[in-house]
Amino acid sequence: MFLSAVPQPSSQPGSRMSRHQQQQQQQLQQQHRTTLRLTDNVVEVKSKFEAEYRRFALKRNGPGGFTAFYRLLQTIHRIPGVDVLLGYADVQGDLLPINNDDNFYKAVSLANPLLRIIITKREDEPIVFATNSLQRRKKGLGLTGLRSSGFDSTRSKNKPGLMIGLPQNFRQISSIIDVDILPETHRRVRLHKHGTHKPLGFYIRDGVSVRVTQQGVEKVPGVFISRLVRGGLAECTGLLGVNDEILEVNGIDVAGKSLDQVTDMMVANSHNLIVTVKPANQKNNVVHRGSRTSMGNSGSVGSAGSAGSALSHDSPSPASQSNPITASNSIAEGDSDDDDDEGDLILENDSLTLYDSSRVTNSNNTNLNRDSPSNRPFPQSVSLPNSVGASLSDSSVLMSNHNGNPAHTSSSSQESMREDGNIITL
Amino acid sequence: MKRFRRHGQESQRDRLKQELFQFNKTVEHGFPHQPSALGYSPSLQLLAIGTRSGAIKLYGAPGVEFMGLHDENAAVTQVHFLPHQVELVTLLDDNSLHMWTLKAHTGLSELLEIGRFTLTGPPGAPPSVTRVTAVLAHSSGELLLLGTEGGHVFIVEVPGFRELEERNISLDQVASSVPDDYFGRRNLEHVEALQENPVNPNQVVIGYGRGLMVIWDLEKQSAVQHIPATQQLESVWWTEDGDYLLSSHSDGSYCRWMVSGVNEEEEKSDIPYGHFPCKAISKIIQLPTEEGPPFLLFSGGMPRASYGDRHCITVIHGKTHVALDFTSRIIDFFAIRDGPQHTGRQHTGDPSALVVLVEEELVVIDLLTEGWPVIQTPYLVPLHSSAITCSHHVSAIPLKLWERVLAVGDLQSTHYSKKPWPITGGQNLAPDPPQRDLLLTGHEDGTVRFWDASGVCLYPMYKLSTAGVFHTDADPNDNMNQGTEGEWPPFRKVGCFDPYSDDPRLGVQKIHLCKYSGYLTVAGTAGQILMLELNDEAAEQTVEAKVVDLLQGQEGFRWKGHTQLDVREEPVLFPPGFQPFALVQCQPPAVVTALTLHSEWKLVAFGTSHGFGLYDYQQKNNVLIKCTLNPSDQLAMEGPLSRVKSIKKSLRQSFRRIRRSRVSLRKHHVTNSNKLQEANARLEAELAEMELAPVQRKIEARSSDDSFTGLVRTIYFADTFLSDSSHNTPSLWAGTNGGCVFAYMLRLPPVEHRAEEPVTAQPAKEIQLMHRAPVVGIVVLDGHGAPLPEPLEVAHDLARSPDLQGSHHLLVISEEQFKVFTLPKVSAKMKLKLTAVDGSRVRRVGVSWFGSSRSEDYGESGLVVLTNQGDVHVVSLPNVKMQVHYPCVRREDVSGIASCVFTKHGQGFYLISPSEFERFSVSTRCVVEPRSLVEVPLHSSTQRRPQPDGASSAHRNARQDSEDAESAAKRVMEHALLNDEKVLEEIQKSLEGDQTSILENNVKSAVA
């Protein structure tokens, strides 16, 4: 990662703060606004932390991601070790968060020409990102200034802004995956039942599927979604619809399987269900753009999201274009053997007490530490597998962590997830 | 390099798999479902039964069994053996004729279909012309006479099915010669019966439906005599001396006619149960005796109004007249005669046994013993005399227990005839079973039947009734006594098929037998668990009942199911056999769903939909009661009545099915194209309607709120490391429908204080599987990865003691996956997913030992699994890897899948019909299948068709004599050496190759 910057108030222009040695060297010069405007590939950054402003320049297409940028800001503001939240003001005047590579690149790419960064301490009262949270002065000209006195005052308009919560307040409940390896007519949807209390909420039925073969049109038996339960996970995502044909369940072709078999397969995989469907409505398919791989693992719909907005994430955003992600193999991920392996809840009672039926059921004051080295000190111990433990303690941390590294390939993200799982439970 | 080595290992493993596993459906036990035809060959002494599903089964001496299946899915309506040959002809519902033969191949006979034939009439003739209604296999063994609905008799040469058109007897030929005064000469109707003259093979009698019988000379091709019966004809019998014909009629009468060759003469006519209108006599036979009056046997003929619903065969011999009252509809019957074989068509000698095939059983009556007792059938026993509700298999029974069970069983069968089984055809060449196996079936009426399942014949050993412990509505002796003296007709009930249960709560649901101690526990529908002990003497005792409240104070529930059974408080006299000494009654009285017995610890554990309990049957008190009920699970609480909803649903479905089938029936029957279209349109509309309301399946993760999550599916005792890895302790494990496993540590007092000090149980572990699928099996594997032996197995030196050094593992089998956990600290180690991968679910599971077919001393344990798709899988232990899988049961056959039991040696049984078990084997070493040989009867070699008529008879006789001697010698030897496999093999070889030379070898080796 390579980012260096010189804070504007510094009296030593040209000093370099390189922190890594990599093949790609990046230079950042201390420059004035006027000179900076002349170069297209440099972004002018103005960051604010509490009452302090810093200005510096950033290469638009330079490498490095959110983490590097975050560290850079910490250095510039001389607040190393302080946990902060980053936000930026976009063209429409909305204050939007920067907390991963995606929205970082997005912010950089949209800077026109100035990128305004607002840094807040995490311990502070959480700021509310919202539309119209920043006062828009002039149409299309971006912001010329920011009020220094918090953002709540900016919301004192008649029209309340639409609330956008922090990403860590969301849990991923569904995603479209493997867009790049599937035919355009198919859609592979992953439903994360994990941790939500919503029912999966759909029904399937037998039906007749029409296939076009070399011999002509052929009718074969198929399995279709027959009904979506209102308020269920399937309906909320908007990714599945009535009469969608089910082609695969967690990577296994359902052709030739009976309705009951498909039902059992889905129920058995319900904790992490990946269904490949051929949507009945083919209008909203993901369109492949040339040779460019579109982004896998991109779409995520918050639980607050409505069905109507579901397809918005299908279209690749500029951010994703600027940072293509290698295709993830959903099957490997979905079928990862260990995600439910650790799911069993095991209660052990090693204390030698006489039989008492109420004993076991009341043993809820349990130790959540799965990797506790010895059970001896604890007469009763509960081993909670990491995933469950995570979901019980703070599943959002896990999920945001997972989302925070979209540049990883699936396998590495899987691994990091596993490692993180143990850390989180501690 | 690594990959290369791995590849080598895999191919080695594949080879090993081939040595360990193979799938065979070996034999069908029990009584064929829906039998439709019966045949018998006096020369082969083989019995043949055809069924509505197109199966043909041949039975001879016990163990001699053959089975064939017609390709057509049509009912077998008639079976006829060709006299003195190994061929038989079957007539199917679709008017096709099939030729079967018993072909000897490598010393074993097999039943093969060798030809099929359908009569073709002249072009343009209606199908009734060639619709076969009567078949006569001529005694020459070369001709088949086929009477048809059109009234013609076609003559066909067999076994090649060559039509001999010039010899056909057309209706016109017959009708032209009918006397003018015969009232029905205009329409003789179909050919009802064809019989050959026992003394003159050239003469046959053709009986027409209208009543007319014509004696026809095949040689002269002309009518010899007309017998003008006026009643609708049912059957014809030609007496052995050839002098008389017996005809039976639809009005319940039979007539005897003198065969004079000149004029027709009715000698005698009788309506045996006359005065009031009677039902038809469907078959009549008369057999002479050496001295004394002949036997007259006929079926039917009962007074229509009063006894029209009885299924009777009347046997009249001199002054003795008995109407045998059978349990179900009579299909057919025949008599066996005990005389020496005659070169003619019939056996001579007195009738020794009457064999009756009724719809639900085969009854053989000893006609030589006073009182005509029933002979116990060694096979074809109706398993379903009361509906089977569960089964339990116990392998390798110790000889002592075996003999005791046999002895008490013998005491029960004193009313059977002492005569040996009269059907003795063929030789059973199957090696003696390597061990004694018991199959126990539980029945709806509260009985448990013990079957000898060691060999090809599933032989009934002993029947235990648990109903005597309880007060039931019906008196057990009700209806069983004979009618009062002087009753007419003189009925006598025969047969054991009795599907009516006095009280459905008596139904047996779970059985567990300890083969070492002779303790048996039987659990039933109303939450009753009986402990029984084998006692060789009759004993009068009261059975102490202990009520177990499984709800444990859970409130707000109301049991809407049946009440618990009332226990007899007074002492009850129990006959020798398994006698109950303790009873546990679960409260609420729900069906017992899991049961196990540990005879060494003297504990029995049981589970219902509400919880499970542990009972100490030595001290007769409860050790542990655990309620597994989810408080929100109303369904489980209310009991069976709450299933109304599903009944409604199934009713709707069945109505729909009926409607659909009616449509298809109509489609099948209408010939008019207009109507056909109409039916098609209706079918389409029906389909469209189905399209509108499709069958839906809800996709939902299981939750703890689902119904019946607390139902206990499996319960298991293990001596293992539950708390720490240095001390093994007794433990109890229970798995529920909701994917939960409970483990309890048991503390047993030392043996000397076992009777006084209490047994205690304390909770040790609780595992909630994340996928929440029902737990169907729990097995603890020892340090070698082998399943723990059964209780007392080690004490009896029959099993290697478990490895207590290495660490034990817990294998939890849920409907969806197999999962191995470490012990004593429970953590997941390995697993095998089933449902997530192929959508099938575990229905039945067993632990089996598979021996290698190649090396005697190699074998391994494995899990045998039957899925809801009907596939059998073998999963290796302890590393839970899928080894092989075979399709076994049709997936639609839900009751078949549910009825499956596995043996400890890789075999299994499942019900293919209410009355039949299919036996299969997944092991290469343990295969029980019929191996039998049927030799061509001696006469056939002399009367074989390739020999022209002019062959020298002297030569023939000489040859026959030598063969006689040879085969007699062979038979003696085979009897003597049947158990010696080596000799057997040589005998088999000898049968293929040069007979005399190897026979000498045999003799030598036998002497040596």
pLDDT number for residue A224: 92
Residue of A nearest to B838 (CA): A265
B350-375 pLDDT per residue, tens = 889 999 999 999 999 999 888 899 99
For residue A154, the model assigns a pLDDT of 44
| pLDDT per residue as tens digits for the range B904-938 | 999 999 999 999 999 999 999 888 888 888 887 76
pLDDT tens-digit readout, B555-609:
777 788 888 899 988 899 999 999 999 999 998 899 999 999 999 999 999 999 8
Select from B699, B747, B760, B772 the residue whose CB has the most chain A CBs within 10 Å, as the one to mutate to test that interface. Answer: B699
Asked whether residue B740 carries a pLDDT value surpassing 70, the answer given is yes
Binned at pLDDT 50, 70 and 90, residue B478 comes out as very low
The CA distance from B775 to B734, in Å, is: 9
Contact A350 B723 (CB under 8 A): yes
Q: How many CB atoms lie within 10 A of CB A211?
A: 11
Q: Give B734's contacts in chain A (Cβ within 8 Å).
A: none
Say yes or no for a CB contact (<8 Å) between B765 and A269. no
Q: Is A204 in Cβ contact with B696 (below 8 Å)?
A: yes
Contact B696 A262 (CB under 8 A): no
Q: Mention every residue, 6+ apart, whose C-beta is less than 8 A from residue B752.
A: none
Residues 367-386 of A with CB under 8 A from B: 375, 383, 385
Residue B282 sits at the chain A interface (C-beta within 8 Å): no
**B 830-859 near A (Cβ less than 8 A):** 831, 833, 835-841
Q: The tokens of B470 are what?
A: 């309880």
- Is residue A340 less than 8 Å (CB to CB) from chain B? yes
> DSSP state, B826?
-
Question: CB contact, 8 Å: A257 with chain B?
Answer: yes
pLDDT band of residue B159 (cuts 50, 70, 90) is: confident
Structural tokens at position A231: 């308020």
Cβ contact (<8 Å) for A268 and B836?
yes
> Tell me: the pLDDT tens digits for B492-549?
898 888 877 778 899 999 999 999 999 999 999 999 999 999 999 999 998 889 999 9
Per-residue pLDDT, B794? 74
- C-beta atoms of A270 and B699 within 8 A: yes
User: How many Å apart are CA B852 and CA A59, to the nearest integer?
Assistant: 72
C-alpha–C-alpha distance, residues A413 and A411, integer Å: 5
Distances (CA, A) of B976 to A49, B934, B967, B1003, B1006: 106, 18, 14, 11, 9
| Interface check B694 vs A, CB under 8 A | yes
Task: State the average pLDDT for chain B.
Answer: 83
- B507 three-state secondary structure: coil
Q: Which helix (H) or strand (E) holds B345?
A: none
pLDDT over 80 (residue B19): yes
Q: Does B695 reach chain A within 8 Å, measured CB to CB?
A: yes
Closest CA to B827 of A270, A376, A361, A382: A382
Q: Does B700 touch chain A (CB under 8 A)?
A: yes
Q: Which amino acid is at A271?
A: H
Query: Is residue B35 predicted with pLDDT exceeding 50?
Result: yes
Q: Which of A245, A274, A348, A356 to mutate to test the interface with B (most CBs of B within 10 A)?
A: A348
By C-alpha distance, the chain B residue nearest A275 is B699
Q: What is the pLDDT of residue A400?
A: 37
Q: Could B762 and A346 be called an inter-chain contact, meaning their C-beta atoms sit closer than 8 Å?
A: no
Decide if B593 contacts B608 (C-beta within 8 A).
Answer: yes
Q: Please give the radius of gyration of chain B, using alpha carbons only, rounded to the nearest integer.
A: 32
Which residues on adjacent β-strands are paired with residue B767?
A346, B741
Whether residue B337 is predicted with pLDDT greater than 60 in this model: the reply is yes
CB of B547 closer than 8 Å to CB of B480: no
Are the beta carbons of B771 and A271 separated by less than 8 Å?
Answer: yes
Chain A interface includes B605 (CB < 8 A):
no
Give the burial class of B561: count Cβ atoms within 10 A of its Cβ; 0-12 exposed, 13-18 middle, 19 or more buried. Answer: buried
- pLDDT of B458 above 70: yes
Q: pLDDT band at B790, cuts 50/70/90?
A: confident
| Mean pLDDT across B823-844 | 90
- Polymer length in residues for chain B: 1008
Report ipTM (2 d.p.). 0.77
Residues of A in contact with B761 (CB under 8 A): 355
Distance from CA of A158 to the nearest CA of B (A): 44
The minimum CA-CA distance between B701 and chain A, rounded to whole Å, is 5
Residue B67 pLDDT exceeds 60: yes
Contacts of B695 in chain A (CB under 8 A): 205-206, 259
Size of interface A-B (CB pairs under 8 A): 149
Contact (CB<8Å) A259/B825: no
Query: pLDDT band for position B867 (50/70/90)?
Result: very high
pLDDT of residue B6: 59
At A101 the pLDDT is 82
- Give the pLDDT of residue A68: 85
C-alpha B816/C-alpha B838 separation (Å) is: 10
For residue B489, whether the previous peptide bond is cis, meaning omega lies within 30 degrees of 0, is yes
State the maximum Cα–Cα separation within chain B, in Å, rounded to a whole number: 104
Interface test with chain A among B622, B697, B818, by most A beta carbons within 10 Å: B697
User: What is the rounded distance in angstroms from the CA atom of residue B942 to the CA atom of residue A248?
Assistant: 68
pLDDT recorded at residue B522: 96
Under-70 pLDDT residues of chain A? 1-40, 62-63, 92, 123-171, 193-196, 286-343, 349-426
* Angle subtended at Cα B438 by Cα B434 and Cα B440, rounded to the nearest 5 degrees: 160
Per-residue pLDDT at B134: 93
pLDDT score, position B962: 43
| Cβ atoms within 10 Å, residue A194 | 22
d(CA B326, CA B324): 6
Q: Count Cβ neighbours within 10 Å for each residue of B921-933 and write b for 16 or more, e otherwise.
A: bbbbbbbbebbbb
Is the model's pLDDT at B971 over the cut of 60? no
Alpha carbon dihedral B914, B916, B920, B925, in 10-degree steps, equals 140
pLDDT in tens, B308-329: 888 999 999 988 999 999 999 9
Q: Would you state the pLDDT for residue A22? A: 41
Q: Is A326 on the interface with B (CB under 8 A)?
A: no
CB contact under 8 A, A265 and B627: no
- Contact between chains at A357 and B625 (C-beta distance less than 8 A): yes
**For residue B708, what pLDDT band results from cuts at 50, 70 and 90?**
confident
